[in-house]
């Protein structure tokens, strides 16, 4: 069993917070960081630790979008009891989020042995980082960028939500990378695609975090590093969400594409050189 120190917890919390919502693959970055720090990436306690600190990043998105979430939940709840309110976009959007989460949950439960087994290989992560970069570049380059958030419909929600399956099966693809790319391919502008990515990810990430939490807490990790890593993850994730939404308002995703390719090639190099194990 590997004991995570407070110092390592801070580093991992920063990495998790920075990469969970940026389209760069948090799984790949965490595993590279763990490998470079000499932490066994496949150790049960390490896997449990990263599952727990992810809750901090999930909490950040819930807090950042609290007003939006509250507005959608109110509209959805009102529409359930008042048919006259069901025309409202927020009421429909609430249902779309629910429907779009069903395929993700179904595939996640059915494919869990694969996800935690062969597909957990860092070789898969490295390859997915590069393939996902090509998809993102094509989506950003050829997407029309003409539709805003209010123009989204049921098809958009289902396709963007279901694209999370790609990231679930191939971790390096990145959940946010897959969902943002799908939104861009559907003609959404960059801000709308990014916000839709966040909303579609809220139930999936929250559910996954809660599902993993009991087992993660029982892997023998010390309470202090867990607490420190989670708090750091929350703070950094909140800042990265705010930054990303401002960035995409006036920039393309090209810098992320280049960065992902570099990290993918670096990971291939580290694996090939035996610095970290795949």
Looking at the domain assignment, is residue 277 inside a domain?
A: no
Q: Tally the domains of the chain.
A: 1
User: Which residue in 245, 163, 231, 269 sits closest to 12, CA to CA?
Assistant: 231
Binned average pLDDT, 10 residues per bin, the chain of 278 residues: 83 96 89 84 78 90 96 97 94 96 93 86 92 97 93 96 93 92 97 95 84 71 89 98 96 97 92 83
Domain membership of residue 226 (yes or no) is: yes
278 occurs within a structural domain: no
End-to-end Cα separation, the chain, in angstroms: 19
How high is the pLDDT of residue 2?
A: 58
Whether the pTM exceeds 0.85: the reply is yes
- Look at residue 48 in the predicted model and tell me its pLDDT: 79
Residue 263 lies in a domain: yes
Helices in 44-189 by DSSP H: which ranges? Answer: 44-64, 66-81, 89-110, 112-115, 122-142, 154-162, 164-169, 175-185
Are the beta carbons of 64 and 201 closer than 8 angstroms? no
Which whole-number Å values give the CA distances from 204 to 17, 56, 111, 126, in the listed order?
17, 15, 15, 23
Residue 207: per-residue pLDDT: 83
pLDDT at position 32: 83
With respect to residue 1, please indicate whether it lies within any of the assigned structural domains: no
| Residue 215 included in any domain | yes
Report the Cα 168 to chain-centroid distance in Å: 9
CA distance 202 to 10: 24
| C-alpha 57: how far from chain center | 9
Residue 77 lies in a domain: yes
143 DSSP 8-state letter? -
For residue 84, what are the contacts with CB-CB under 8 A and spacing of at least 6? none
Residue 173 within any structural domain of the chain: yes
CB 12 within 8 Å of CB 248: no
Range of the domain at 221: 6-272
User: Is 173 within 8 Å of 132 (Cβ atoms)?
Assistant: yes
Distance CA 99, CA 94 (A): 9
């Amino acid at each position: 069993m590997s004991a995570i120190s407070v110092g390592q917890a801070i580093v991992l919390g920063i990495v998790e917070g920075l990469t969970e919502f940026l389209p760069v693959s948090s799984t790949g970055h965490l595993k590279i960081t763990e490998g470079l720090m000499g932490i066994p990436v496949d150790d049960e306690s390490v896997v449990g630790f990263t599952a727990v600190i992810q809750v901090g990043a999930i909490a950040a998105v819930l807090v950042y979008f609290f007003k939006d979430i509250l507005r959608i939940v109110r509209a959805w709840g009102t529409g359930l009891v008042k048919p006259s309110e069901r025309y409202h976009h927020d009421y429909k959007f609430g249902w779309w989020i629910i429907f779009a989460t069903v395929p993700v949950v179904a595939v996640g439960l059915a494919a869990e042995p694969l996800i935690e087994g062969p597909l957990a290989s860092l070789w898969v992560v490295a390859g997915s980082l590069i393939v996902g970069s090509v998809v993102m570049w094509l989506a950003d380059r050829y997407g029309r960028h003409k539709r805003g958030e209010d123009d989204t419909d049921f098809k958009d929600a289902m396709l963007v939500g279901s694209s999370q399956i790609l990231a679930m099966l191939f971790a390096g693809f990145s959940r946010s990378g897959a969902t943002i790319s799908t939104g861009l391919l559907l003609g959404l502008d960059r801000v709308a695609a990014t916000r839709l990515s966040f909303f579609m990810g809220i139930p999936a990430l929250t559910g996954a975090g809660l599902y993993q939490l009991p087992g993660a807490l029982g892997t023998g990790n010390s309470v202090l590093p867990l607490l420190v890593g989670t708090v750091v993850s929350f703070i950094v994730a909140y800042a990265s969400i705010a930054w990303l939404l401002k960035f995409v308002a006036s920039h393309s995703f090209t810098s992320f594409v280049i960065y992902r390719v570099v990290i993918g090639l670096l990971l291939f190099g580290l694996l090939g050189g035996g610095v970290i194990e795949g």
